[in-house]
Amino acid sequence: MANYIGKPVKRVEDKRFITGKGKYTDDIVLPNMSYAYILRSPYAHATINSVDISAAQAMDGVVAIFTGADIAEAGISGVPCGWQVNFKNGDTMKEPPHPLLVKDKSLHVGDGVAVVIAESKEIARDAADLIEVEYDEHDAVSNPADALKDGAPLVHADAPGNLAFDWEIGDKDKTDAAMAAAHHITKLEFVNQRVVPNAIEPRAAIGDYDGSRDHYTLYTSSQNPHLIRLLMCAFVLGLPEHKVRVVSPDVGGGFGSKIFHYAEEALVTWASKQIGRPVKWTADRSEAFLTDAHGRDHVTTAELGLDTEGNFVGLRVNTVANMGAYLSTFAPAVPTYLHGTLLQGLYTTPAIHIDLKAAFTHTNAVDAYRGAGRPEATFLLERLVETAAIEIGMDPAELRIKNFIPPFDGVEEPGYQTQVALQYDSGNYEPVVRKAMEMVGYDDFRREQAAAKAEGRLLGIGFSTYIEACGIAPSAVVGALGARAGLFESSQVRVQPTGKVSVYTGSHSHGQGHETTFAQVVADQFGIALEDVDIVHGDSDAVAFGMGTYGSRSLAVGGSAIVKSCQKVIEKGAKIAAHLLEVSEEDLEFAGGSWTVKGTDKSVGFGDVALTAYVPHNYPEDIEPGLDFSSFYDPKNFTYPFGCHICVVEIDPDTGKVDVKRFVAVDDVGNIINPMIVEGQIHGGVAQGIGQALFEEVLYDDNASLLNGSYMDYTMPRADDLPMFEVGNTVTPCPHNPLGVKGAGEAGCIAATPAVVNAVVDALKDYNVKDIRMPMTPERVWRAMHSNGNGHH
């Protein structure tokens, strides 16, 4: 049986990171390498009248300079969008070109105007200072709701009214009727503010063209090397895919921002061929703020209808989502199929409708950030439910439980068909709430809260429950919804002659610990030692294909692909073992790393079978030598983890500062392979969720200039802003993948944010505060306390 699965095995990848031997893209130095610096527009919306590179070109050490005009002249297409959403009337979404460098117009601060390539990054930067660009600045718009108003500055001439697309899901008439008949309607208007993923490793890319082989190598800090290769070859540069290798070595965090194909990747690849040398580009942090795809940025009105008993009868949502100036790789999917389809939550609400408009603005692109659409859906639902509980005078936990979908395992009972297209795989929702309440000591807390109040202290508690669709995704389903790619995963399991196993996976670890978790799975499949398994990822030359890591998909999809290949190895191994033992396959059982003749002590080990496969002297006639299988796994459904998070805050009544005193998270992510790694994922997600609630927000001035584009200005949680987290779990296995796993990477970030806001509102109930805009800075909280309930300042 399982020796490794379910155990907190220490990570095998750690040693290189704790000794300074990690190899990130910027750590790579190639012979004769040159360095790129990208001159970026300081204006959100400007006509480029002229670009004079003569002084820069004359500088010692400058190798080459390319401008938007050069890119246009070379016939290079823009960066493509990977997901098509249609307007309600069936028209294709507006999809304006996104050039690698702009030629005539800058559409957001940070749009690339020219790239300087030099002998050192210092020279490249100095030379860029000498480029004279003449701009005509125009009015710009950053807020998505403002962008849709009459007379707003236009981002793209062919997208009238700045509308990228409109979209809806659910039954509008049924929902309107349900809301009209509702006994009580809870309505909230809010902003789910724009945040920056902020992986601590800035993006970097090295292009290396080898003319002798007409071959390209791109090193890039990406979550998604194979897809980058496909997009860059097929849509941007028109390169032969078999002559292009993409390597994503150690990657210092991604959180979604490194899923996408970025202009710089194509730029260094193309430029390397032009100059015949490797070209390295590494973002500085300011560039990262200007160009890494941002997250969230929704403006929403949401209404929940309840009957006299507190049953939810309808949910009506109106959202405007900010796309930025260009459509990033998965941007159109985020507010639609990763958001609108999640509005059922854990509840039986029988009528749901969302009306969504996606707006272009003069800002950097918005795309998937940890959770991608699901945090926004969870936020609006859980704020509504908590507010409804206050309004109708019911306990927030009991109101949730009353409206929960009853348990279903997806095996004996069918999956749950939602009102918004998805079918949940398995769920048992009440236990996560009960467990979280027990962990936090809910009844005692209410007494503690009352006692604190008597001392003039403000304590608050906030709930959040969530469901997410992850394990992304069945290719046919997402294809029907507009994805321009499949979302399967590949694997190869190569048993070496000595019985050691090399595993090649299309998933990409950038902190998730795949080298450990996947090795646990494979070691248990074969009954061998963990040390005998090596996980290889992140190199398109080594790994046949891959769809990368995001959407909490690695174990559910990539892990399942690995299991599939392991099963093929075991099947073939049985044939070899039967031959060696001179019995028929049916007489054998495989366990503990050996094939044993049932009822006897005659057996042959995994290593012996492997050796026989490669030294096939005494070997079955009808099978090939070797023990090496690859597989593609396309999931049957999304997976649907769920959970309940509870936050306890204390607010300083004098300053409005919110202190997160406790944070309890109970998640059901299906079966767990490595509980230590899963807990770590929850911790990190919760920290980012708290970050959005309390600290983080991208700020633009009136003309869409970024105001807080550095770590001195953009606030993220530091160690002394957070408590120790209290983490628990329940297990409801996924019924449709071989490991029964669901996914844990995004859960914390989806659930935490509304729990914190709900806790703050609870703490301020005596101040008649109904809502506070995020991030809940001390100033906002203090003003809410002193403005008689109007928290919108």
Partner 1 sequence: MGVPIQVTVNGKPYKAEVEPRQLLVHFLRDTLRMTGTHVGCDTSSCGACTIHMNGEAVKSCTILAVQADGGEIKTIEGMSPDGNGTLHPLQEGFKEEHGLQCGFCTPGMIMAADALLKENPNPSETEIRHALEGNFCRCTGYHNIVKSIQYAADKMRKEVTHG
CB of 546 to partner 1, least distance (A): 18
Q: Over 139-199, what HEC string results? A: CCCCCHHHHCCCCCCCCCCCCHHHEEEEEEEECHHHHHHHHHHCCEEEEEEEEECCECCCC
Q: Is 244 in the site for partner 1 (CB under 8 A)?
A: no
Q: Is 708 in the site for partner 1 (CB under 8 A)?
A: no
Report, in angstroms and rounded to the nearest whole number, the Rg of the chain calculated over CA atoms: 27
394 backbone dihedrals φ, ψ, rounded to 5°: -115, 155
String of contacts with partner 1 for each residue 262-301, x by CB under 8 A: ----------------------xxx---------------
Specify the stretch interacting with partner 1 by CB under 8 A; choose among 498-506, 507-515, 698-706, 785-793.
507-515
Q: Is 331 in the site for partner 1 (CB under 8 A)?
A: no
Tokens of 65: 């300079």
| Composition of the chain by helix, strand, coil, percent to 5 | 30, 25, 45
Q: Is 786 in the site for partner 1 (CB under 8 A)?
A: no
What is the distance, to the nearest Å, from the Cα of residue 467 to the centroid of all Cα atoms in its chain? 15
Tokens of 770: 């109904």
Specify the stretch interacting with partner 1 by CB under 8 A; choose among 272-280, 401-409, 424-432, 707-715.
707-715
- Contact pick of 614, 619, 632, 711 for partner 1 (by CB under 8 A): 711
CB of 172 to partner 1, least distance (A): 40
Which CB sits closer to partner 1, 230 or 749?
749
CB of 550 to partner 1, least distance (A): 14
Q: Provide CB contacts within 8 A for 337, sequence distance 6+.
A: 85, 373, 478, 481, 482
Q: Is 688 in the site for partner 1 (CB under 8 A)?
A: yes
Among residues 494, 561, 568, the alpha carbon closest in space to that of 533 is found at 494
Query: Exposed, middle or buried: residue 583 (CB in 10 Å: 0-12, 13-18, 19+)?
Result: middle
Q: Is 552 in the site for partner 1 (CB under 8 A)?
A: no
Q: Is 31 in the site for partner 1 (CB under 8 A)?
A: no
Residues 743-762 that bind partner 1 (CB under 8 A): 748
Q: Is 778 in the site for partner 1 (CB under 8 A)?
A: no
CB of 94 to partner 1, least distance (A): 33
Q: Is 26 in the site for partner 1 (CB under 8 A)?
A: yes
CB of 723 to partner 1, least distance (A): 9
Residue 567, helix vs strand vs coil: helix
Specify the stretch interacting with partner 1 by CB under 8 A; choose among 403-411, 613-621, 678-686, 780-788.
678-686
Q: Is 680 in the site for partner 1 (CB under 8 A)?
A: yes
Q: Is 515 in the site for partner 1 (CB under 8 A)?
A: no
CB of 738 to partner 1, least distance (A): 26
Tokens of 774: 């995020």
587 backbone dihedrals φ, ψ, rounded to 5°: -85, 0
Specify the stretch interacting with partner 1 by CB under 8 A; choose among 234-242, 422-430, 461-469, 711-719.
711-719
Binding-site size for partner 1 (CB under 8 A) equals 58
- Contact pick of 593, 717, 728, 791 for partner 1 (by CB under 8 A): 717
Among residues 454, 611, 602, 483, the alpha carbon closest in space to that of 551 is found at 483
What pairing do the DSSP bridges indicate for beta strands 184-192 and 163-170? unpaired
Among residues 155, 207, 163, the alpha carbon closest in space to that of 321 is found at 163
Q: Is 630 in the site for partner 1 (CB under 8 A)?
A: no
- Contact pick of 48, 76, 251, 469 for partner 1 (by CB under 8 A): 251
Residue 121, helix vs strand vs coil: helix
- What's the number of CA atoms in the CB half-sphere (13 Å) around residue 786? 10
- What's the number of CA atoms in the CB half-sphere (13 Å) around residue 520? 23
Instruction: Quote the CA–CA distance of 246 and 261 in Å, as a whole number.
Output: 12
Where helices occur in 292-373 by DSSP H, the ranges are none
Q: Is 408 in the site for partner 1 (CB under 8 A)?
A: no
267, β-bridge pairs: none
Q: Is 718 in the site for partner 1 (CB under 8 A)?
A: yes
Tokens of 292: 């890494």
Neighbours of 701 (CB within 10 A): 11
Specify the stretch interacting with partner 1 by CB under 8 A; choose among 10-18, 225-233, 409-417, 532-540.
10-18
String of contacts with partner 1 for each residue 34-53, x by CB under 8 A: --------------------
String of contacts with partner 1 for each residue 457-496, x by CB under 8 A: ----------------------------------------
Q: Is 677 in the site for partner 1 (CB under 8 A)?
A: yes
- Contact pick of 56, 113, 199, 399 for partner 1 (by CB under 8 A): 199
Instruction: Give residues in contact with partner 1 (CB under 8 A).
Output: 8, 10-11, 13-24, 26-27, 29, 122, 198-202, 250-253, 255, 284-286, 510-513, 676-677, 679-680, 683-688, 710-712, 716-720, 722, 724-725, 748
